[in-house]
Amino acid sequence: MIRAMRESRWGRQLQEQATPRAMAGLAALVIILALWGLSELSASVSNLRQDVEEVQRARRLELSLLNDQNWVQQARDLQVQLRETQNSFWEGDTNGIVAAQLQGAVERAARNAELTRIRVAVESAPDALGAEAQSFEISLTARDTDGQFLALFQELSRADHQLVITRLNWRRSNGALDMRIQAPARIQTPEAAS
């Protein structure tokens, strides 16, 4: 190719008028352009390879779904699990009703565990757990001079719905107990009730 270029009319004119330094610059420019073109080609091939891998992954997923015919049963199992989980949620028409239910349940558990100076505060967490659920945080402070944690834990586990202890702090010196509990709840909207 280089020989054909030298023998052409343009090539002869270039040899007559160009200095060796200009020829070296031209060669460097041609090499730079060739390297740039090869790098662009390499990037394009890499992008195409990624696209092909993505299509192959999607195809394998479709084939596995078509070959696995028990997905209907899996969907039913997931539906049952969802119902079981939702049944463990506290339910009420308003945040206030749910907060009162939670406060009553935690106070009852603390009294049954023979704690003293019981104070319970319930707050609705700002983050929703989805379209129909919300999380509540319960703060329990009390005196427990005998270390009746096991009795308190057992009483909390007997609650009507789910209560999850997220923090426990007990000072042995004065028996001060500070506990944080999370509880999921579903607030029934008027549209859902009808």
Write down the pLDDT at residue 194: 46
Contacts of 27 (CB under 8 A, 6+ apart): none
More confident residue, 3 or 181: 181
90-193 in CATH: which number?
A: 3.30.70.60
Write down the pLDDT at residue 32: 92
Write down the pLDDT at residue 56: 93
Task: Flag whether pLDDT at 72 surpasses 50.
Answer: yes
- The pLDDT tens digits of the residues spanning 51-63 come to 999 999 999 888 8
More confident residue, 182 or 71: 182
User: Once rounded to an integer, what is the mean pLDDT over residues 10-30?
Assistant: 78
Write down the pLDDT at residue 55: 93
User: Once rounded to an integer, what is the mean pLDDT over residues 142-161?
Assistant: 78
> Rounded to two decimals, what is the model's pTM?
0.55
Q: Tell me what percent of the residues of the chain surpass a pLDDT of 70.
A: 84
Write down the pLDDT at residue 70: 74
User: Once rounded to an integer, what is the mean pLDDT over residues 126-130?
Assistant: 64
